A and B are shown apart, each in its own frame.
Chain A
């Protein structure tokens, strides 16, 4: 079975946020990288690949040419191969466009299990796994804190504020994993050197048989009207303690703030 982990190339959280002319989020900052939340997806996919006899792991990304470095990082972590779907016509796609491209790629790669992160670290919408499952007509097991696969069934533990529940679905399926699913591994030097010999395959929309008019800024259902900076936070208030007086002041402050 081919496991496919989805990875996104994003600006680092320390980079200044930039926007393209069409107000879409800039992807190529000085420290752009494999999204940290997607490292959890790669980690779980690597573990499942090892556990499941005959499984292979492909990492898949839709993005600009620079996104190759995110795929290379996933190869260094131990993925078997990597596919980048890149095409001028994809630029400015919304989540629906991204899911359309991903599902075409997953079909053409004949994936049997898709593992995604819980959300991207830049746009942060977290809906791509659901749209993708819908587009593939596969079940979705989202927000997994733990995932296992046995006898053609994927099983996850989903933990949220209401409690913990176990959900399972027959493969093929889409699973998204949270940052509680297990720390991503350090690349070992052996894997780093093995990755050097692997190549990143590049696909275009034409290769996938996706009509360019179905994606990109033109067909986006989400339209960014304006972007702006949050106002600077006002200066904090300094409470000066005179022989314990600050306790009452802090209590009063908290009482007022939580009213």
Chain B
């Protein structure tokens, strides 16, 4: 039976192991350089939705919802999924791609309906909705907790015999004659394997480069601002505001604000070196947008800021792929939206390893192949939104 090593104890490494177990593969070792969830997964805003223009990604998100909704039965722990719904508001300039995307989403089974600004106002009474042309509401969306989810999964994986080694940093992959045979840790220890899955986000790049595999992943610094609204807001849906280009959701009694126009995202050279707090300018931008959008929140203040790093590819979509080296696979480059699709990504990675093709309805494995960048055949939404980062 094959021996699998997964590099990276983030949500993608964990869901890949979970899906492999589902296929009867049990000899699995996850190698994590630090602790489970210490990478992007522990910092995620955790927004969950299926609102995607690319059919394969929309289908990955839809597949993933089943896991988020049923995690308690599936893995025995509560992963703190707050299913408050997902609301998108757009301006007139985006009506056409918006309606085309909704039709496509519905055609593969996503529950989403167009609602009027007046109906949206009932969900978010503190918001000004006058400058939106229309909205849609996805009742199965919401937000999760990346850390709780990956910890819950890790606990379950251990009960199923998966070895999770923390503090185990991989120094290099071992391959010869076009075939992988294991990995070497920084302490010199060698872990043998028939199959190696690299699920180490932006850190995957230097692991694959010595083998001549060029992953087009750039680490990017992202900043979010947490706001104390100083008032009770109820449980409104996650709000993707594609007029002001921001996303907002409750986190406990506070509101988390992120920027969707790309201006708060900047490329960095080292994925481990970035500020641990948002810049004054990012705080100013958030304050301006938030005050304009939410006049009903009278005296909001900055409670804290969070920052993180995302692993972006040129088309802002994941690489879930075999490589030219036999036994070596990659699931990385989630480009800042990997949490909501992670159960699907893990399953697709396991499909590619075992079956060589996708077994998820409406998901084409070839869409996520690594070679698409060299071929110039990028995975882009047929319904792009004006002004927003291409992750919808």
Contact = CB atoms under 8 A, between A and B. Distances in A.
A and B held together in a complex: yes
Interface stretch (A111-119, A158-166, A185-193, A237-245): A185-193
A94 B276 CA distance: 28
B283 interface: yes
A43 interface: no
Nearest to A77: B302
Interface stretch (A68-76, A84-92, A209-217): A68-76
B314 interface: no
A110 to B, nearest CB: 28
Given A69-B279, A72-B280, A188 B273 contact: no
B300 A188 contact: yes
A196 B287 CA distance: 11
Contacts of A186: 228, 301-303
Contact of A33 (B274, B277, B283): B277
A199 interface: no
Interface in A152-207: 185-190, 192-193, 195-196
A120 B375 CA distance: 55
Contacts of B227: 189
B284 interface: yes
Interface string B216-231: 0000000000011000
Interface string A203-240: 00000000000000000000000000000000000000
What is the interface residue range for chain B against chain A?
A: 20 to 34
B275 interface: yes
B245 interface: no
A29 to B, nearest CB: 9
B173 to A, nearest CB: 28
Interface in B234-285: 273-277, 279-280, 283-284
A12 B300 contact: no
Given A76-B283, A196-B284, A189 B276 contact: no
A44 to B, nearest CB: 19
B302 A189 contact: yes
What is the interface residue range for chain A against chain B?
A: 10 to 19
Contacts of A196: 284
A14 B302 contact: no
B275 A190 contact: no
Given A30-B275, A189-B302, A192-B302, A69 B280 contact: yes
A43 to B, nearest CB: 14
B229 to A, nearest CB: 10
B290 interface: yes
B196 to A, nearest CB: 31
B78 interface: no
B288 A31 contact: no
A193 B283 contact: no
Contacts of B275: 30-31
A193 B299 contact: no
B25 interface: no
A193 B276 contact: no
A129 to B, nearest CB: 26
B71 interface: no
Contact of B288 (A33, A76, A185, A193): A193
8 contacts: A12-B277, A14-B276, A73-B280, A76-B302, A186-B228, A189-B290, A189-B302, A195-B284
- A-B pairs, top 4 by smallest CB distance, nearest first, are A186-B301, A192-B287, A189-B287, A188-B301
